[in-house]
Structure 1
Amino acid sequence: MKKQRILFILFLIYFVFAILLNSVGTVILQVINNYGVSKSGASVLEGFKDLPIAIVSFLVASFLPRFGYKNAMLAGLAIVTAASSAMPLLPGFLTTKMLFLCVGVAFALVKVSVYSTIGLISVDRKQHAGIMNTLEGFFMIGVLSAYWVFGYFIDSANPQSQSWLQVYWLLAGLCAATFMLLLATPFDEHLAALPEDRSLAQDFAEMLKLFFKPLVCIFVITAFLYVLVEQSVGTWLPTFNNEILKLPTAMSVQVTSIFAACLAVGRLSAGVLMRRLNWYPVMNACVLGMGAMVLLALPLTHNVVLDPDISWSRAPIAAFLFPLIGLFMAPIYPGINSVMLSSLPKNQHSAMTGLLVIFSALGGTTGSLITGYVFGNFSGHFAFYLTLVPISIVLIMLYFFKKAVDGGSDGYDASAIISGQH
């Protein structure tokens, strides 16, 4: 395999899906304006995206090596190309739901395949951690691009305008180009091969057995809570900027790009940190920083007065301060993922990633639904203050995760502990 070309394709695929997946906050704001959908009604878009990710990952992750990682990524790209093309052709809330359902199905195939391919081309744990952080950094660059790309097509002067739907022609073209590049690239997947004498049912049973091991349980709970917080903030920040900070619609979306930029910078730089420092103190410092930013920034969002001549230079300071929470969030997800995956044999990466994707998806949906409900029935301030609860639990879970991982490094191999062998 030509490693650099494959890495470029993996980064490009993640970039494309980052735009599609994390447009949900912007799309929620637009369907509220365009289709008269309530906040709680619009919040179901997160579920249409995340629940298919969880279900498809649960069903296919264990035997995806038999189907082929390259074939799975090609299928995912084909699905989102068709779904993106449908958005401007058949505008409506139902089409929007179907778009995110298709994006969820496709991302389940893609994420398991991309994470597993990283295991195939990495030579050691440090390189695995570096690639993982860089990959997630590119994902956040895609998220950052999404806010500006969608913001460019949004007509702030006419909230009812459907000009924003034209962005999907651009996205469909990007997906199609990535499909063609991947199709022309050879993959060597023999290291991920599963035992030939094992049935599909046995493959599925092996994945389920992973979940009942203490180390894996702690890991997936930690990932679930982290994604819950990240999606709560990322999905509802445009609406928070628009309704609480009184920013214009397009500017509300564009200011949210600061959050994505902080996640991108944090993850791209985390690879350097993780090569020099122990992962556990880095993770703890990040979680404490997240809590500190919530307590520091949210009090500044009260009593904001509507300014008809608002501009970037006249925006409330909280609009720029609160998104900095992304700097502290950034290293946590790729960090714990790399520690977990690099402890396993390469042919178990697909099953383990399947569990990770399932609980990440459930965490994203749970966070969006809870935040949407609290935002609509109480206040945006209370909705974001509520993130302090899962942040505190993540800090506790990291301690148990480290204890479990260290239990595998003191004379034992983590993969042996997971499989029940000593």
Structure 2
Amino acid sequence: MTVNRNKIKAPLILNFLIFSMLLNSMGVIILQLSNQVSYKGLGVLESFKDIPIVIVSLLCVNLINKTGNKNALIISLLFVIISCVALPLVDAFWFFKIWLSIVGVSFALAKISVFSIIKNNFKDRQLASAISSVDAAFMIGIFFVNIGFGSLLTSSYANYWKFGFWIIALLSIINVIMLKSLKIEEDKIIEPAMPGEWKFFFKPKIIIFFIVAFFVVFVEQSFNSWLPSFFKNNLKVNSYFALQSSAFLALFSFFGRLITSRLILRFHWYRFVIICLCMVLFILAISQIVIIYFYNDFKFLLVFIIPIIGLFLSPLFPLYNSEILNQVSKQKTHLFVSWVVIFSSLGSSVGSLYMAMIFHEKLSYFYPFFISLPLLIIFGLTFFLNKTSIINGQKQ
């Protein structure tokens, strides 16, 4: 079968854009429900998405092997279509929990399938470029969801904001049609991993990578879901501008990943990552100094300064992922990606709880400082990740 690799990217990019809008609608939901539900209650809400992601990632690897990546992707989109059509029709907080659980299940199926398709159809730096391109769509999805819902919330149809999810359902239908005609290299059906094969996932480099993945998503979640609330509570901007600032964080993140998809073909991932981490920490430090010493005079500068972080934060996850995924055999890809999804989901859930407690305790004044702490952990672990080989856990 002849595979056109350029055509493979388009439906995968649309797929990640769809799930980005779903997963990152949490910022909108938190903003809209914060007057009805406590921050503690909203912090727990994220777990209804993340726990199903963990469960599905653990239990459905062999099912995806048998079903095929493309079919699993289509099934995940069908779940999305049904749940998004139903959401505006059920006016109850409890349904958000069910809806998020369905989104979590669907995303777990989709992410394992998308990364496996990339692994099977791209190699080496082309694989890193493909992951960065697909992940760039994840960032532009955050931009669209914030711009779209921000505009809707300031219009005369603000009470019908949940009907915005019907647009996502429509995009999902288009994605299903694109996937139906897509030709890809699929996995050969393999047997479940034997006990001895699990030793691979206990190699030092893999363990360090999983911890890094946890904290990277932890930080991303702290921005994506809670930045609008920080702008509204601490900078006293209205909901529309709070969401627009978050949208521009996503726009800068999109450009960050798009640029990365080109530059990674020329530069070593490690230098790239260190530069990005230093820039994020520098901008956060400047932001915290402004809040502490120049709040009254320059607080609105933060609305423009903080979104620039996306340019440097967004390359991290695809760069770490591609570095390790390139060294994982095709036979282990599904299992490896499932564990990436698990640690990412745990990072998302714990990150949201971490931010919820900070806001609940009225410590959001130190929002940049609290985000810097996990970033420093990532910075330290990156040195070990670069120095450790996946082969026998030996130093390079």
- Cα distance in 1 for partners of 2:318, 2:333 equals 14
Aligned to 1:256: 246
Aligned to 2:182: 185
Aligned to 2:377: 393
Aligned to 2:336: 352
- Structure 1 residue 180 displacement after superposition: 2.3
Residues 36-69 of structure 1, C-alpha deviations (whole Å, 9 max, x = no match): 1111111222211222112211111255222210
Aligned to 2:149: 150
Aligned to 1:54: 54
Aligned to 2:9: 7
TM-score computed with the length of structure 2 as normaliser: 0.93
- Structure 2: runs of 5 or more not aligned: none
Q: Is the Cα contact below 8 Å between 2:288 and 2:366 reproduced in 1?
A: no
**Aligned pair partner of 2:287 in 291, 294, 297:** 297
Aligned-pair identity (%): 31
Aligned to 1:126: 125
Q: 1:366 to 1:156 in 2, by over 3 A?
A: farther
Q: How does 1:268-347 map to 2 (within 5 A)?
A: 268-301=258-291, 316-347=300-331
Structure 1 ranges of 4+ moved more than 4 A: 204-208, 302-306
Residues 106-158 of structure 1, C-alpha deviations (whole Å, 9 max, x = no match): 00000000001001111x31101111111111111111111111112213789
Q: Does 1:244 align with 2:228?
A: no
Q: Is the Cα contact below 8 Å between 2:245 and 2:304 reproduced in 1?
A: yes
- Structure 1 residue 304 displacement after superposition: 5.7
- Structure 1 residue 351 displacement after superposition: 1.0
Aligned to 1:310: none
Q: 1:69 to 1:386 in 2, by over 3 A?
A: same
- Cα distance in 2 for partners of 1:62, 1:42 equals 34
**Aligned pair partner of 2:359 in 367, 375, 394:** 375
- For this pair of structures, how many residues does the alignment match? 391
Aligned to 1:68: 68
Aligned to 1:94: 94
- Cα distance in 2 for partners of 1:30, 1:14 equals 24
Q: Is the Cα contact below 8 Å between 1:375 and 1:382 reproduced in 2?
A: no
Counterpart amino acid of residue 117 in structure 2: T
Q: Is the Cα contact below 8 Å between 1:194 and 1:347 reproduced in 2?
A: no
- Cα distance in 1 for partners of 2:13, 2:61 equals 21
- Cα distance in 1 for partners of 2:62, 2:357 equals 35
Further displaced range: 382-391 or 9-18: 382-391
Further displaced range: 372-381 or 109-118: 372-381
- Structure 1: runs of 5 or more not aligned: 307-313, 409-413
- Structure 1 residue 255 displacement after superposition: 1.4
- Structure 1 residue 257 displacement after superposition: 0.8
- Structure 1 residue 290 displacement after superposition: 1.4
Counterpart amino acid of residue 222 in structure 1: V
Aligned to 2:117: 117
- Structure 1 residue 70 displacement after superposition: 0.9
Residues 145-200 of structure 1, C-alpha deviations (whole Å, 9 max, x = no match): 11111112213789xx53211101211111122122212334331xx2244xx3xx
Residues 369-414 of structure 1, C-alpha deviations (whole Å, 9 max, x = no match): 011111111321224311221111101111111111xx35xxxxx4
- Cα distance in 2 for partners of 1:246, 1:305 equals 12
- Structure 1 residue 273 displacement after superposition: 2.1
Residues 73-120 of structure 1, C-alpha deviations (whole Å, 9 max, x = no match): 011001111111111111221111111111110000000000010011
- Structure 1 residue 207 displacement after superposition: 6.9
Counterpart amino acid of residue 219 in structure 2: V
Aligned to 1:309: none
Residues 199-255 of structure 1, C-alpha deviations (whole Å, 9 max, x = no match): xxx437477443322121011001111111111111100111111111111221111
- Structure 1 residue 284 displacement after superposition: 1.1
Aligned to 1:25: 27
CA RMSD of aligned residues (A): 2.2
